[in-house]
């Protein structure tokens, strides 16, 4: 086994949850993931003491919505309470948030220090629970579950051992109908049911997100610098060949999304740089003409626009930024219609 195999080995995972977590378990086992399921409701019962730091790299917790809601309603009705008009949803929401924090603290207190614990977000029900003309965003189950996810993320952000793992975006991408069992059962059941190929994809992507999060915590292969080309990368076409430049024709669509991604990376602390074979003055002017204030040359720590080989320019950028090649990502068109990527010591033009 080489170093790369060791580095990319899936984390040994302890999965905490009820039968609602079994879909994740099955997909993990089918994929050869080192995982063990510990049956646990989301109450305040004792957490299994077999979860030790020597046996696992991460803990994945799938909270049970119905249990949390049952703890928050006086009669213990965690299923249909939200359809009773006499219930004070604001009061129940406040109590549910308190109970959620208590359960999270209870679980974290039982996990060995240093072992990261990831809490899967609760699956949010359809936004139109209250009907076409109902107030779906106020006093509804949809609003309640969203508030619990907000509270979960906020609470975990202050706890070094706990981490929030969003999965609603994954379900939306593939389609809730393929995995969210609220359509087949009831909304407060809140389980994952991979009854289709898409359902298996969702479970797989959730596990891959966990793997990525663990790698980030371990600081494996961190990207500290993104170097981008310009023509057919940061905009469509080769601008030096254009007689007339109409900005939106060159930036609308994927170039705008690419610029959005670059700025998001910059916001997270990743450095940006430009490496392009072009004449510097006119190219910088065209850059400003296309992007205006949306993306600025000042957003880049180094701008190398000249006719030297890209390998020389990249070496200069790395020296200027004091970044090792393994921590740099170079994005260029590679004579294609869309951007491609080179990481570390990969080939450059």
The DSSP annotation for 114-129 comes to T--EEEEPPPPPPTTT
pLDDT value of position 344? 57
The fold of 225-343 is Rossmann fold (3.40.50)
Q: Which helix (H) or strand (E) holds 319?
A: helix 310-321
| pLDDT tens track for 232-249 | 999 999 998 888 889 999
pLDDT value of position 194? 62
Mean pLDDT along residues 324-328? 94
The residues facing 272 across adjacent strands are 226
| pLDDT at 22 exceeding the cut of 80 | yes
* Dihedral pair phi/psi, residue 36, rounded to 5°: -135, 135
Instruction: Identify which of 299, 265, 297, 267 has the alpha carbon closest to the alpha carbon of residue 283.
Output: 297
Q: Average model confidence (pLDDT) for the chain?
A: 88
C-alpha separations of 251 from 34, 229, 316, 331, 332 in Å = 44, 14, 28, 17, 16
Across 78-82, 122-126, 278-282, least confident range: 78-82
Instruction: Identify which of 120, 103, 106, 112 has the alpha carbon closest to the alpha carbon of residue 49.
Output: 112
Both tokens of 273, joined, read 């740089």
* Dihedral pair phi/psi, residue 322, rounded to 5°: 60, 50
Read off the pLDDT band of 9 (50, 70, 90).
confident
Comparison of pLDDT for 211 and 130, the residue scoring more? 211
Please tell me the distance from the alpha carbon of residue 294 to that of residue 246, in angstroms, as a whole number: 16
Please tell me the distance from the alpha carbon of residue 179 to that of residue 322, in angstroms, as a whole number: 46
pLDDT value of position 286? 94
| pLDDT at 6 exceeding the cut of 50 | no
Sign of CA dihedral 323, 329, 335, 339: negative
User: Which percentage of the chain shows pLDDT scores above 90?
Assistant: 61
| pLDDT tens track for 182-238 | 888 888 887 777 667 888 888 899 999 999 999 999 988 899 999 999 999 999 999
Instruction: Identify which of 54, 52, 91 has the alpha carbon closest to the alpha carbon of residue 73.
Output: 91
| pLDDT at 169 exceeding the cut of 60 | yes
Which numeric CATH code is attached to 3-217?
Answer: 3.40.50.1110
Across 162-171, 221-230, 335-344, least confident range: 335-344
Read off the pLDDT band of 334 (50, 70, 90).
low
Q: Are 23 and 203 in contact (CB under 8 A)?
A: yes
User: Which percentage of the chain shows pLDDT scores above 70?
Assistant: 93
CATH 3.40.50.1000 location in the chain:
225-343
Q: Are 265 and 311 in contact (CB under 8 A)?
A: no
Please tell me the distance from the alpha carbon of residue 298 to that of residue 300, in angstroms, as a whole number: 5
pLDDT value of position 345? 47
Please tell me the distance from the alpha carbon of residue 98 to that of residue 149, in angstroms, as a whole number: 13
| pLDDT at 23 exceeding the cut of 50 | yes
pTM, full prediction:
0.83
CA dihedral 36, 37, 38, 43 (to 10 degrees): 140
CATH 3.40.50.1110 location in the chain:
3-217
Mean pLDDT along residues 126-132? 79
In the block, residue with structure tokens 């009854």: 195
Please tell me the distance from the alpha carbon of residue 208 to that of residue 34, in angstroms, as a whole number: 13
Both tokens of 210, joined, read 């966990």
| pLDDT at 338 exceeding the cut of 90 | no
pLDDT value of position 342? 57
In the block, residue with structure tokens 């969203």: 146
Comparison of pLDDT for 188 and 297, the residue scoring more? 297
């Amino acid at each position: 086994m080489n170093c790369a195999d060791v580095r990319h080995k899936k984390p040994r995972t302890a999965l905490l949850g009820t039968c609602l977590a079994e879909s994740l378990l099955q997909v993990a086992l089918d994929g050869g993931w080192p995982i063990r399921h510990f049956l646990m409701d989301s109450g305040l019962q004792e957490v299994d003491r077999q979860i030790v730091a020597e046996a696992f790299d991460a803990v994945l917790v799938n909270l049970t919505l119905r249990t949390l809601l049952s703890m928050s309603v006086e009669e213990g009705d965690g299923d249909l309470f939200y359809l009773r008009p006499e219930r004070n949803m604001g009061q129940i929401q406040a109590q549910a948030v308190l109970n959620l924090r208590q359960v999270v603290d209870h679980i974290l207190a039982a996990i060995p220090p240093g072992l990261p614990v990831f809490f899967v977000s609760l699956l949010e029900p359809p936004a139109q629970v209250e009907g076409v003309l109902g107030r779906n965003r106020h006093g509804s189950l949809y609003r309640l579950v969203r508030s619990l996810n907000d509270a979960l993320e906020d609470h975990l952000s202050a706890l070094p051992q706990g981490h929030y793992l969003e999965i609603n975006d994954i379900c939306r991408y593939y389609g809730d109908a393929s995995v969210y069992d609220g359509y087949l059962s009831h909304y407060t059941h809140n389980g994952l049911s991979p009854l289709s190929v898409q359902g298996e994809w969702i479970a797989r992507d959730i596990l891959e997100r966990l793997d990525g999060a663990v790698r980030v915590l371990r600081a494996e292969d961190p990207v500290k610098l993104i170097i981008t080309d310009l023509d057919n990368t940061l905009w469509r076409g080769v601008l030096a060949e254009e007689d007339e430049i109409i900005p939106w024709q060159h930036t609308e669509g994927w170039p705008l999304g690419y610029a959005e991604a670059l700025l998001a990376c910059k916001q997270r602390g990743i450095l940006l740089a430009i490496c392009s074979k072009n004449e510097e003055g006119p190219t910088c002017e065209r850059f400003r003409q296309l992007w205006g204030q949306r993306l600025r040359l000042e957003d880049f720590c180094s701008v190398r626009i000249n006719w030297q080989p890209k390998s020389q320019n990249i070496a200069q950028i790395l020296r200027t930024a004091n970044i090792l090649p393994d921590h740099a990502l170079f994005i260029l068109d590679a004579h294609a219609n869309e951007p491609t990527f080179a990481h570390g010591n990969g080939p450059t033009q």
